[in-house]
Amino acid sequence: MDTNALVSEIRHELMGVVDPDLDLTFEELDAIRNIEVNNGLIKIVLELVQPINMVAEQINDTCVKVLQNIAPDYENEIIFSEKPIDLSDREVLKGVKNIVAVASGKGGVGKSAISSNLAAALAMTGARVGILDGDVYGPSQPTMFNLKDKTLQGVEENGKIVAFPHENYGVKVASMGMMMSKDQAAIVRGPMLAGYFTTLFEQVEWGVLDFLIFDLPPGTGDIQLTMTQRIPLTGAVVVTTPQEISLADVRRSISMFDKVDVPVLGIVENMSYFVPPDMPDKKYYVFGKEGGKEIAKEKDIPLLGQVPLNIDMRESNDNGMPVVLSESKETELQRQVLMEVAKNLSKEIRKRNYEQYVSGDIDISI
């Protein structure tokens, strides 16, 4: 087969490949940017809706299979690029592509634990990730990322005071707790809090990020409302336990996001069940069963996952390393479920970004 014929056959076959998140073909997505055949190498350049890290491997493997079927003797290289987006009308967080608030109506349901694991899971796939801890009274992320007692130091850059986030496990971390002492936090109220918070997201220099995970304080009061309005959110994730009293708060949380026009990208049911390590065949529904799943159905919002109650996860949080980064056999199920949650979140973000892309909400400057 001559090179031209080979290129057209490759194009023809790749056109039919389906993006697993968007359920559309490469033809429909206009995803094939370039096909090059040279010296026994087939090089493909794809252009996909971001964020692509969580699906890149799967898409790569599918494409390689297609290419090997057509030309088994050739080497393959798949290069990923992103469909352009325009964030130039943003006044803050200009380099951050996707900003996701993690919220709950009720405290203590595991928002911070889910946020830290989502951030770490996304970073594991090579995405650039930051986490912003908005809780003044009980900031958890510095503990969960082993950055306790770190402070944010303002430095002057181009006539502006900026601060750089701390970093661990490939995740940039900044928190309200890094800006004030515990004594200060205890007396800070309403408007002052909003001021601190504005400083936190306006003056922290995040650089370019694929994801900024924003761990909101619990509840649906003024502080949460102000925070969700000031930050250009891509969407929100609502965390709940399966039990009924937690679910009433979920409804409130969803209405809050509706009010400020922020799409709820999904619900995470946390502490869904407990599998005793010494009795792996047993499953206990400690906090009720499937409440998160049901509310997701009721509200027609995707359920991103049901995360078990797990002793290692609690210990990892306290010891400063998200459990998705652990390699022990005991945490296998936990890791798997949390990676799935991250993958599902990425999928919902991509669906959202695709909708905006085709609706022309985003000005495409090529």
Ligand X SMILES: Nc1ncnc2c1ncn2[C@@H]1O[C@H](COP(=O)(O)OP(=O)(O)OP(=O)(O)O)[C@@H](O)[C@H]1O
Count interface residues toward ligand X (CB under 6 A): 20
Which residue in the set 50, 53, 104, 228 belongs to the binding site for ligand X (CB under 6 A)? 104
Closest C-alpha among 297, 322, 290 to residue 116: 322
Alpha carbons 279 and 167: distance in angstroms, whole number? 38
- Using the contact rule CB under 5 A, the part of the chain among 34-42, 57-65, 72-80, 111-119 near Mg ion is 111-119
Q: Which residues in the chain belong to E strands, given as ranges?
A: 18-19, 24-25, 32-38, 41-48, 75-82, 96-103, 129-133, 154-157, 160-163, 166-168, 171-175, 209-215, 235-240, 264-274, 303-309
- Contact flag: residue 307 with ligand X (CB under 6 A): yes
- Closest C-alpha among 255, 267, 265 to residue 292: 267
| Residue 50 in contact with Mg ion, rule: CB under 5 A | no
The stretch among 199-207, 279-287, 312-320, 325-333 that binds ligand X (CB under 6 A) is: 312-320
Identify which of residues 112 and 317 has a Cβ nearer to Mg ion in the complex.
112
Of positions 22, 32, 67, 109, contacts ligand X by CB under 6 A:
109
Identity of the residue, 138 or 320, whose beta carbon is nearer to ligand X in the bound complex? 138
Alpha-carbon span 187 to 65, nearest angstrom: 61
116 binds Mg ion (CB under 5 A): no
Report the partner that residue 109 touches, choosing among ligand X, Mg ion, none (CB closer than 5 to 8 A by kind). ligand X
CB of 140 to ligand X, least distance (A): 5
Of residues 175 through 214, those in contact with ligand X by CB under 6 A are none
| 140 belongs to the binding site for Mg ion (CB under 5 A) | yes
Q: With CA atoms as reference, report the closest residue to 162 among 171, 152, 177.
A: 152
Q: Contact between 313 and ligand X (CB under 6 A)?
A: yes
Cβ contacts of residue 64 below 8 Å, gap of 6+?
76, 78
**Which is it for strands 235-240 and 264-274: parallel, antiparallel or unpaired?**
parallel
- What does the block give as tokens for 229? 């309005």
**Could you say whether residue 314 binds ligand X (CB under 6 A)?**
yes
Residue 104 binds which of ligand X, Mg ion, none (CB < 5-8 A, kind-dependent): ligand X
Which residues touch 332 (CB under 8 Å, ≥6 apart)? none
Q: Which does 264 bind (CB under 5 to 8 A by kind): Mg ion, ligand X, none?
A: none
Among 108, 191, 195, 276, binds ligand X (CB under 6 A): 108
- Residue whose CB is less far from ligand X, 84 or 108: 108
Task: Please answer whether residues 271 and 310 qualify as being in contact, where contact means their C-beta atoms are separated by less than 8 angstroms.
Answer: no
Nearer to ligand X, 224 or 353 (CB): 224
> At its nearest, how many Å lie between Mg ion and the CB of residue 117?
13
85-90: which pairs have CB atoms within 8 A and are 24 or more residues apart? 85/50, 85/353, 85/357, 85/362, 86/362, 86/363, 86/364, 86/365, 90/232
The two three-digit tokens of residue 128, written as one number: 């650039």
Does the footprint of Mg ion cover residue 104 (CB under 5 A)? Answer: no
Confirm or reject binding of residue 112 to Mg ion (CB under 5 A). Answer: yes
Size of the site for Mg ion (CB under 5 A): 3
Alpha-carbon distances of 117 from 195, 291, 339, rounded to whole Å: 28, 22, 8
Using the minimum distance from each CB to ligand X, give the nearer residue, 50 or 310: 310
Residue numbers at the binding site for ligand X (CB under 6 A): 104, 107-113, 135, 138, 140, 218, 270-271, 307, 309-310, 313-314, 317
Chain residues that interact with Mg ion, rule: CB under 5 A: 111-112, 140
